[in-house]
Structure 1
Amino acid sequence: MSIVHIVLFQFKAGLDAKVINETCQRLVGLKDNCLHPSSQKPYMKVSSGGADNSPEGIQNGITHAFVMEFASAADRDYYCKEDPVHLEFVRSLSGLLEKAQVIDYSPGVF
């Protein structure tokens, strides 16, 4: 069963727009750079993201959203806990974020 992984960021105020753009591009690029430990091929099915543009006004500071999809919980778990490329990306966020939120779900499972 597939897993949808949603990541929400609030970048720190005053952060250079170039740094924000590069960080976002690197996150979306994890789809091609994270390799499955057995096949050594990319294993993320979907990766997209962008800056908030909601007119609702209930973002609670969140400035950017990203959606990834994995074929299985095992792939998602490897990504979150072991994938060296992802873990290095997470370390690179130090000092850039005011807040981060992550939520995962399996489509249709309530």
Structure 2
Amino acid sequence: MAIFHIVSFKTSNPEASLGLLTEKLRLLQGSCVNPDTKKPYILDLKGGNVLETEGRNKGMEVVFIMEFENKNDLDYYLYKDPAHEEFKKSALGEWGVVDVVAMDFEDGKH
């Protein structure tokens, strides 16, 4: 079953940073590669600006959902992938991310 990672961001200056944050996160789909196969392992990535239709977004401004083949790929992405580590440093530094909400689920598993 597929594993999904949902992540949303709030920044200190949305006008200045959301475009770059979004652009760089989308690039991770190609730059995050499995160290053994040398192939990208993020199967799919979708995201965009939060629509405030219910007013329950907790201030998050942009949200993404990423699909992984298995939990090992997700764990590598979260804790070891050099491209993702660099993204996290930039997000918390130069892009002004002040809050992140992230959660994961396995499709069909209750």
TM-score normalised by the chain length of structure 2: 0.91
Q: What residue number does 1:108 align with?
A: 108
Provide the secondary structure at the position in 2 that maps to 1:68: strand
Instruction: Please state if 1:90 is matched with 2:98.
Output: no
1:40 to 38, 53, 57: 38
Q: Provide the rounded CA distance (Å) in 2 between the counterparts of 1:49 and 1:91.
A: 20
Q: What residue number does 1:77 align with?
A: 75
TM-score normalised by the chain length of structure 1: 0.91
Q: Provide the rounded CA distance (Å) in 2 between the counterparts of 1:43 and 1:60.
A: 30
1:23 CA displacement: 1.0
Q: Is the CA contact 2:11–2:17 (under 8 Å) kept in the aligned structure 1?
A: no
1:18 CA displacement: 4.3
Q: What residue number does 2:62 align with?
A: 64
Gaps of 5+ in 2: none
1:72 CA displacement: 0.4
Cα deviation, 1:7-60, whole Å, max 9, x if unaligned, reads 011111xx2624220111110110011111011111100111101113111111
Cα deviation, 1:53-72, whole Å, max 9, x if unaligned, reads 13111111111101001000
Identity level (%): 32
Q: How big is the alpha-carbon RMSD for the aligned residues of Structure 1 and Structure 2? A: 1.2
Q: Provide the rounded CA distance (Å) in 2 between the counterparts of 1:57 and 1:92.
A: 28
Structure 1 runs (4+) greater than 4 angstroms displaced:
none
Q: Provide the rounded CA distance (Å) in 2 between the counterparts of 1:19 and 1:60.
A: 19
Instruction: Please state if 1:6 is matched with 2:6.
Output: yes
The code of the aligned residue for 2:3 comes to: I
The count of aligned residue pairs is 108
Gaps of 5+ in 1: none
Provide the secondary structure at the position in 2 that maps to 1:48: strand
